[in-house]
Amino acid sequence: MTGWSAHLAVMPVALPMLAAAFLLLFNEDRRRLKAIVTIATVAALVVVSALLLQSVSAGSAVPAWVYVPGNWPTPFAITLVVDRLSAMMLVLSSILSLGTLLFSLARWAWAGPRFLAFFLLLVAGVNGALLTGDLFNLFVFFEVMLAASYGLLLHGSGEKRVRMGLAYVAVNLTASMLFLIGVSLVYGATGTLNMADLARRLSDLPPENQTLFAVASAVLGTAFLVKASMWPLGFWLPRTYAAASAPAAAVFAILSKVGVYVVLRLSLLLFGTDAGAFAGFGADWLFVGGILTVLFGTAGAMAARNLPYAAGCCVMISSGTVLAALGFGTDAALGGALFYMAGSILAGGALFLLAEILEREAPEAALAADARVFADEYEDPFGSTTVEENGPVIPAAIALASAGFLICGLLLAGIPPFAGFIGKLTIFLGALPREGSLSGAAWTLIAVLTLSSFGVLMTLLRFGVAYLWTPGDGTKLPVVRIVEFSGIATLLLACILLTLWSEKGLAYADGAVSWLRDPGAYVRAVMEHQPWHGDASPGNAPQGDTP
Amino acid sequence: MTDTLARPDLLLLSMILAPWVGAVLAGLLPRYARNGAAALSWVVALVGLVSAILLYPNITDGPVRHEIRWMPSLGIDFVLRLDGLSWLFSVLVLGIGALVVLYARYYMSPKDPVPRFFAYLLAFMGAMQGVVMAGNLVQLAIFWELTSLFSFLLIGYWYNNQLARDGARMALTVTAAGGLCLLIGVLLLGHIAGSYDLDVVLGAGDQIKRSPLYLPMLVFVLLGAFTKSAQFPFHFWLPRAMAAPTPVSAYLHSATMVKAGIFLMMRLWPVLAGTEEWYAIVGTAGILTLLIGAYAAIFQHDLKGLLAYSTISHLGLITLLLGLGTPLGFVAALFHTLNHATFKASLFMAAGIIDHETGTRDLRRLSGLRKAMPITATLAIVAAAAMAGVPLLNGFLSKEMFLAEAVSNPRDYDRNLLLPVLATLASTFAVLYSLRFIHQTFFGPPAQDLPSTPHEPPHWMRFPIELLVLICVVVGIIPGLTIGPFLATGVQSVLGEATPYYSLAVWHGFNLPLLMSLVALAGGTVLYVLFRRPINTNPHGGPRLFRPFDGVRIFDGVMNGLTAASERGASVFGTNRLQPQLRNIILVMLLAAVLAALPFWSGLGANGFTLTPPDPGFVVLWLLGIGCALIAAWQAKYHRLAAVVMLGGAGLASCISFVWLSAPDLATTQLLVEVVTTVLLLLGLRWLPKRQDAIHIPPSEQRRAKARRVSDLLVAIAFGAFTAAIAFRVMTMPAAPDGIGRFFLEHAYEQGGGRNVVNVLLVDFRALDTLGEISVLGLVGLTVFALLLRFRPGADSLSAPEQQRVQRASDERHETRQPGDTLQDTMLVPRVVMQWLFPVIVLFAVHLFLRGHDEPGGGFAAGIAMSIAFILQYMASGTRWVEDRLRIRPLKWVALGLGIATLTGMGSWIFGYPFLTSWFRYAELPVLGRVPLPSAILFDIGVFGLVVGSTVLVLIALAHQSLRKPRDRAPAHPPAPPLEEVV
């Protein structure tokens, strides 16, 4: 790899950071400039992540490649690793961001200060967490992601958001504290933070270090599973997401999946079959926890009083599904779960956006509680005329919203014919043994996933009928702007493409799983990486003259 | 027959694709294009039908297949497969579809958005074709769910109507749940057979029946079939689906979709039927459905309701025939399926015409319509006669076959009397409700109070009925010449060599089945004459006997129960409160740690502990630190100021520890951070709600409150003990010899160009971490700023603090003093000191920055120090004074800091090195002498800028709170510039 393409791996982090810095230089009234810069950045991220995906997909020679910011030798340097799993997540993160961003530009981006900077830094944090091959760097990017999410959650203000924001911050700071304790324990027990180095050292740890490492894994696992919202650690998720403004909630759809991603990444890298005493560490618990998460999420969805809450429950269900498939252990089930996760991230995000459009019809909440107290107070998000109407209004709003809702609903419920169904079908097929009868775990997995399909279908059916079919008191149709709809359409189009290319998608997911099942290859890719010798001074180390 | 076609695949494709393409096109038509949509749909149905007819010669000897690779890795491909059975069903779907389209053109109002209706109808047609032509089990399950979906959309077409919404929801709930079961069923079936391909599965009959998974598989498959085909106890959704427009009822809910379950049982009959389980489940469901449907149909006052229950009953009859498991039963089932579709579709359309013309479907109001619409009446009477099983009509033939099967008792069970008696009883009921339908609607005196005056419908609206009734008659008279060969192909395709001898003759001589038919005809007539009046005056519109078994009520009960159980489950197994969530996290972590450590327990004490003798000074320091921390925790609830100060004390202890352990760099940074955070926290305290001295706990709750406190204390102690224990173990362990830490110590100077390893780590080795951390710092500053922009303090902290009030009161008492003078006087000395410290601290910050690479210091520490300079100014002179002289613009600092740091990182791309690769060189500068100039210093400038910006941003946001005045009070000073403009 030469030229600019050699640096592709770091762009998902560096570009949004630079763009965020640029946006902060200008005041909020430079809307056009800010919108253009942000769209350009996120669109560039879509291209970059697609190129990264291309570089590790089936046709390419390398299943993974390593980029070392700082150009220090591994394992001492922080490494960024592009492999099938991280590339796939990057693509999802970019597409979700693009759709959400377009939606937000109509109104929400201007409903509070510096939304776009928060948004871009969130994307940078997510991408960094997906790319990094270093445990402490992972912590750092988790913090970037979380700090940005605090800001985004509070965006739009209002008592509900501040209240939920406080709880969210408290829960996540607790999890971050555990994360930090875990990371320092890992360092204490193994003397390294590089994931590949860690996997390499694990097999010949002295006994007392093994004990410590086991404890560290438990602590770290708890922290990640809080993020992944596994039962009983994930109660914060639905209410928080329901309180957030629609674009924030939509882009949060990937946050919990970053937790799932890390669990996937680390448990397959560290606790594979070659890991000696640690082989299969925690898999049973992940299965049980995943199943309980799916059940709890389904119950929450069935009991939901409003659509965003139900959408949050769907996010929980999809996390639980992936964790259960990971714990279940067969490659086919895991491949299906990855495919399912891709669809559910996009559809979950779209559902939050649709929910906002559908709830627009509902009478505005009493504004009395929201009256201004201070003379110089920041304007009420939509209470003033300063929020300009961006772009023309869609006439057939209801028809388009209905179609979108239908697609989201079928996808999240895993009902044919969309990607959600294909993912669940593949999980089922993966749960069936090659020969003979089904194990209890297989029956449980199939039964629980079917039950949750039914529950989600019932829930979304209820909301769909209530929002789209029940005649209101007036003939007021929701006002949807083209740019908003284009955001939702982006996400739905991605869902449909995923469905159409399901064979390719499944093949990619299977490829990712077989790559993840071979931790040795990952370790080799990282450990055998050589520092570059730059174009400017070929053959020389990057460091200049010594004193 | 003629010779076979060369390219059957194109015809196969057009049979399934035409409806889907048509659906998309219809959806794109203008909103009220009724004729266009109808014409399009008609063409589509005809194209499919003609394709099917052209294909007939190809399928007489075996199935035609066309495969499209879809997901070969899963063994699931898109296979179109047409054989005798699917051909018959296809013709049913496409043929009746064509007729229904024609009928719907006249039935639907021009005011309805009709293209949408036709789009759904065509999509349903496509889905149904997908089911019957599926050559792969999974494909079948997919299209199965699609038929449920489009049925839902069609039932809910008039969604302004509550009944339509409810009916649609119920139909989808039942059939989609069945579809999910079916998916499990076919997956198990494919698992047993080793393939999802239908031909492979059909060839693995013995293997399937012997499998231990046979029974669960059968149950799941049948759940799918029974829900779809409205078999007891899942029959209740069908009458509710009658809220759909009548063309939909005629098409989906009598002729095609409800036959999908029947189709499935027929399709899999060779591999599933014939076992005891099959007989028990399918036979029982069939006979119960037959009887209950027929009995309930008698009592319906709604024309469509009567037909719906009659449909349920006939579906039960077909299911029963399949359940018998005999080849002849199968023949009868297939034959009756076709017959039922023809007469029931025509009856529904007739009912639709009656509804259309009279404005009502209530049998009690209708009367004597034969005078107003004689042709429609004749047609409906013939169709109803076929439904009743009157000779010379097609319904008679298949019913005779049914009765013959009921009598033959192939299994030689002792219930041999039961089945014929029940079959006769059901036939009697059928005669009764058919008679009631005819008599009540068409005979008697003409009704007077109808909503509109009836007359014959347009000819083309009646045409579909005419055609279907013609088929009923022709098939009924000359079955062997008309339906015979097609039926034979259909039967042959399923039964193959097991095809039995059967005769389609009208006259089989005097035998038991004929006698049963006659008994039923006579009995039904007699019963109608006897019970006509009580049935018509029955206010419930349904049999009293079934009240407790009313499927709708049970369904509602189950759904409500599910919701209630979910709510309960979500509240019992979850919580919305923060404290239990945090407790969960800690407890789960502790439990996980213990469970994880158990297998490795023995290794814990291995290699012993490396202890260092305690130093008294250090012990005292830590005792002080621990004391501060404990007091902070103790006071956090009631005395925030004390808690913050004590927290500062604990922080100080750790600063001194760093010094003690020779980490001056950490100590410097920690000290500066402690100072700034403590000050900012103290500034924020002002806006928190007033201290509550005591929280009143009702006596009843006191025990619980106490228990909770104790348990919280235990959790806290457990967590603290855990953390202490692992920290102790790590610190007393021999250091890992090959840890990566050594590398940094060895290479910091040589290759990083700095003697201060911590700084080189921050700006070079792990610069990416630093970039992330400064982003976090920036984000936190931005969040505080955004939050405080719309911050509304509680009412009790809105007023000025007591100290200010006292000072102001004192100033106002003295005539010579201005308000605020006391404050000025008190602050005079500190103010002068703080103002003069400004340049000193700035210089100190520059110093810290420049020496950073070799000595303790660096961008971060310098930034914090710099912000202390600003904080002091704000504290000493007040916000207004400072901002009149100094505009700090912290947001720009943040932006530039982050931008410089990122751009420095990207700079190395120009030289062909990865992001954040550093480069350094020593330079001889005037005055300063030889200084190291690593590129990392640029990065450090970014860090510095961001740290200053973010800290000051928080400071200014807090400071401006005290300038804000409630809106309703006249400002004493000119209003402060809005916060947004200052930053």
pTM for this model (two decimals): 0.92
Q: Does B927 touch chain A (CB under 8 A)?
A: no
Using CB atoms within 10 A of its CB, is residue A451 exposed (0-12), middle (13-18) or buried (19+)?
middle
* Residue A539 covered by a domain: no
pLDDT, one tens digit per residue, over B545-604 is: 565 567 778 888 888 999 999 999 988 898 888 989 999 999 999 999 999 988 888 777
Who has greater pLDDT, A386 or B542?
A: B542
Question: What would the two tokens of residue A29 be?
Answer: 């009234």
Residue whose C-alpha is closest to residue B155's, from A465, A185, A110: A465
Residue whose C-alpha is closest to residue A547's, from B643, B921, B789: B921
Residues of B in contact with A386 (CB under 8 A): none
* Mean of all residue pLDDT scores within chain B: 88
b/e code B503-540 from CB counts within 10 Å (16+ = b): ebeeeeeeeebbebbeebbebbeebbeeeeeebeebee
Cα torsion through B922, B924, B930, B933, rounded to 10: -40
**Rounded to an integer, what is the distance from CA B693 to the centroid of its chain?**
48
Inter-chain CB proximity B138 and A510 less than 8 Å: no
Residue whose C-alpha is closest to residue B569's, from A379, A97, A259, A292: A292
Identify the residue among A263, A285, A374 best suited for mutation to test binding to B, counting B beta carbons within 10 A and taking the highest.
A374
Cα torsion through A316, A319, A321, A322, rounded to 10: 180
Calculate how close chain B gets to A95, using CA atoms only, in Å: 23
* Residue A495 covered by a domain: yes
CA distances to A306, B51, B492 from B62, rounded to whole Å, are 54, 17, 9
CA distances to A221, A257, A419, B178 from A457, rounded to whole Å, are 31, 22, 15, 13
Residue B765's SS3 state is helix
Residue A64, strand partner residues: A83
Inter-chain CB proximity A232 and B574 less than 8 Å: yes
Query: For A475, which DSSP code?
Result: -
Inter-chain CB proximity B145 and A416 less than 8 Å: yes
Q: What angle do CA B37, B43, B49 make, to 5 degrees?
A: 135
Largest CA distance in chain A: 81
Alpha helices for A360-418 (secondary structure H): 397-413
Q: Does B892 touch chain A (CB under 8 A)?
A: yes
Residues of B in contact with A174 (CB under 8 A): 582, 585-586
Number of A/B CB contacts below 8 angstroms equals 416
Helices and strands in chain B, H and E counts: 40, 4
Tell me which chain A residue has its CA closest to the CA of residue B965.
A374
Query: A275-282, long-range: CB within 8 Å, 24+ apart, which pairs?
Result: A275/A199, A275/A202, A275/A203, A275/A519, A276/A202, A276/A203, A277/A210, A277/B599, A277/B600, A278/A202, A278/A210, A278/A213, A278/A214, A278/A217, A280/A329, A281/A214, A281/A217, A281/B596, A282/A217, A282/A218, A282/A221, A282/B596
Per the structure, how many domains does chain A have?
Answer: 1
CA distance B479 to B665: 101
Residues 776-805 of B with CB under 8 A from A: 776, 778-780, 782-783, 785-787, 789-790, 792
Residue B70's SS3 state is strand
For residue B118, name the pLDDT band (cuts at 50, 70, 90). very high
For residue B77, name the pLDDT band (cuts at 50, 70, 90). confident
* Residue A540 covered by a domain: no
Question: What would the two tokens of residue B293 be?
Answer: 């449907």
Query: Given this model, what pLDDT does residue A311 score?
Result: 96
Question: What would the two tokens of residue B476 be?
Answer: 């009924």
Residue A424's SS3 state is helix
pLDDT, one tens digit per residue, over B499-541 is: 888 888 888 778 888 899 999 999 999 999 988 888 887 766 5
Q: What are phi and psi of B539, to 5 degrees?
A: -70, -20
Inter-chain CB proximity A121 and B778 less than 8 Å: yes
Q: Does B837 touch chain A (CB under 8 A)?
A: no
CA distance B481 to B477: 9
Residues 132-171 of B with CB under 8 A from A: 138, 141-143, 145-146, 149, 156, 159-160, 165, 168-169
Cα torsion through B276, B280, B283, B289, rounded to 10: -160
* Residue A362 covered by a domain: yes
Residue whose C-alpha is closest to residue B317's, from B403, B221, B219: B403
Residues of A in contact with B180 (CB under 8 A): 415, 450, 453-454
CA distance A144 to A128: 9
In sequence order, what DSSP letters do the residues of B632-667 get, joined into one string?
HHHHTTT-HHHHHHHHHHHHHHHHHHHHHTT-HHHH
Calculate how close chain A gets to B140, using CA atoms only, in Å: 11
Query: Given this model, what pLDDT does residue B908 score?
Result: 87
Indicate if the pLDDT at residue B23 is higher than 50: yes
Indicate if the pLDDT at residue B661 is higher than 90: no
Calculate how close chain B gets to A515, using CA atoms only, in Å: 17
Question: What would the two tokens of residue B697 be?
Answer: 């706990």
CA distance B816 to B836: 30
Least confident among A193-197, B794-798, B938-942, B968-972? B968-972
Tell me which chain B residue has its CA closest to the CA of residue A148.
B779
Query: Given this model, what pLDDT does residue B931 score?
Result: 66
Residue B930, strand partner residues: B924
Indicate if the pLDDT at residue B285 is higher than 80: yes
Range of the domain at A433: 3-374+386-527
CA distance B812 to B819: 6
Query: Given this model, what pLDDT does residue B826 score?
Result: 82
CA distance B585 to A222: 7
CA distances to A241, A367, B57, B480, B733 from B2, rounded to whole Å, are 66, 78, 6, 20, 91
Who has greater pLDDT, B324 or B972?
A: B324
Side-chain-facing half-sphere of B421: CA atoms under 13 Å? 4
- Residues in chain A, pLDDT under 50: 1, 363-373, 375, 378-389, 474-475, 536-547
- Are A87 and A75 in contact by the 8 Å Cβ rule? The answer is no
* Residue A162 covered by a domain: yes
b/e code A89-125 from CB counts within 10 Å (16+ = b): bbbbbbbbbbbbbbbbbbbbbbbbbbbbbbbbbbbbb
b/e code B118-151 from CB counts within 10 Å (16+ = b): bbbbbbbbbbbbbbbbbbbbbbbbbbbbbbbbbb
Who has greater pLDDT, A120 or B759?
A: A120
Inter-chain CB proximity B896 and A233 less than 8 Å: no
Residue whose C-alpha is closest to residue A238's, from A309, A294, A167: A309
Angle between helices A115-131 and A31-56 (to 10 degrees): 10
Query: Given this model, what pLDDT does residue A361 score?
Result: 59
Residues of B in contact with A22 (CB under 8 A): 895, 899
Q: Which of A28, A191, A207 sits opposite B739 (nearest CB)?
A: A191
Helices and strands in chain A, H and E counts: 20, 2
Query: Given this model, what pLDDT does residue B360 score?
Result: 87
Question: What would the two tokens of residue B943 be?
Answer: 């860090």
CA distance B250 to B345: 5
CA distance A228 to A348: 15
Q: For residues B418-446, give the mean pLDDT.
A: 91
* Residue A536 covered by a domain: no
Residues contacting A79, CB < 8 A, separation 6+: A66, A67, A68, A132, A133, A134, A194, A196, A526, A529
pLDDT, one tens digit per residue, over A459-493 is: 999 999 888 887 765 445 667 788 888 999 999 99
**B233 upstream amide cis, omega within 30 of 0:** yes
Residue B60's SS3 state is coil
Query: Given this model, what pLDDT does residue A368 score?
Result: 35
Residues of A in contact with B917 (CB under 8 A): 69-71, 534, 542
Calculate how close chain A gets to B735, using CA atoms only, in Å: 8
Inter-chain CB proximity B563 and A235 less than 8 Å: no
Inter-chain CB proximity B74 and A429 less than 8 Å: yes
Calculate how close chain A gets to B788, using CA atoms only, in Å: 9
Tell me which chain A residue has its CA closest to the CA of residue B774.
A144
Q: What ipTM was reported for this prediction?
A: 0.91
